[in-house]
Amino acid sequence: MNTPSLEVSGLAYAYPDGHQALFGVDLTIGRGERVALLGPNGAGKTTLVLHLNGILTAGAGTVTVAGLPVGRKHMAEIRRKVGIVFQDPDDQLFMPTVREDVAFGPAAAGLRGAELDAVVERALEKVGMTGYADRPPHHLSFGQRRRVAVATVLAGEPEILVLDEPSSNLDPASRRELADVLRSLDVTVLMVTHDLPYALELCPRSLVLSEGVIAADGPTREILGDEELMNRHRLELPFGFVPGSVA
């Protein structure tokens, strides 16, 4: 049996000021799944994500990535396996050229020469940005910068790609281009989003995190079509959008 990409069991966490953000989260995500993490503001989504690569340490419960418990012993490997793409690509891009940004992580891990060049080329090819390697990131459109930010994470060959609001501030063409990229990737994807149509388009399965626990877990179309569930957890579809209208 394949080891799941992610297993979270009984995860609870309180911030130093006493605010309890997670009350016992349980979830399992299999290898290659694309899963949306939905929920209202303040539900604990960011807190949960920050546990996946050890930025936060569980107050109770466990997090396991590809069979490795998240903890000090395996931290370097965990952080290679869990790649997080920030909501704002400008928080992720800081080098003079696209090539240098994508190479930064693998170079820090010790890759050099032709091997490093090949990793950068593969990552840029996956996001459709091979022709932009020598461009300064700030000369690119917002959508192009977001795809480069994805490439910087893919260069580390992660097990899990975590995307924080990937569709925010994208025009329709850029949304489609990013969706095409995400569908083509051979990695596990966890997409944190308020963009419910985008979740339906890309993620067959969704988790609803509400008040620090998983309140629902199932097919995205069924969750978005459950009016009572949606209302109870402050989730709203755009005006006129019907989940059944998307193939």
**Which residues neighbour 75 within 8 Å (Cβ) at sequence distance 6 or greater?**
54
CATH number of 6-236: 3.40.50.300
Query: What value does the mean pLDDT take over residues 49-57?
Result: 93
| pLDDT score, position 154 | 97
Q: 106-117 pLDDT, tens per residue?
A: 999 899 999 999
Q: 178-197 pLDDT, tens per residue?
A: 999 999 999 999 999 999 99
Nearest partner of 59 among 14, 1, 91, judged by Cα: 14
In whole angstroms, what is the distance from residue 19 CA to residue 238 CA?
Answer: 32
| pLDDT score, position 157 | 93
Which amino acid makes up residue 53? N
Of 36-40, 182-186, 203-207, 236-240, the poorest mean pLDDT is in 236-240
Q: Residue 43 corresponds to which tokens in the numbers above?
A: 């539900």
Residue 234 has pLDDT above 80, yes or no: yes
pLDDT confidence band for 245 (50 / 70 / 90): low
Q: 61-102 pLDDT, tens per residue?
A: 999 999 999 988 999 999 999 999 999 999 999 999 999 999
Any idea where the domains of the chain sit in the sequence?
6-236
| pLDDT score, position 1 | 53
Any alpha helices (H) in the chain, and if so which ranges?
Answer: 45-52, 75-81, 98-108, 113-126, 142-154, 172-184, 196-202, 220-224, 227-232
Query: What value does the mean pLDDT take over residues 191-208?
Result: 97
Q: Residue 95 corresponds to which tokens in the numbers above?
A: 């080098």
Residues in the chain: 247
DSSP symbols for 46-101:
HHHHHHHTTSS--SEEEEEETTEESSGGGHHHHHHHEEEE-SSGGGT--SSSHHHH
Which amino acid makes up residue 138? H
| pLDDT score, position 241 | 82
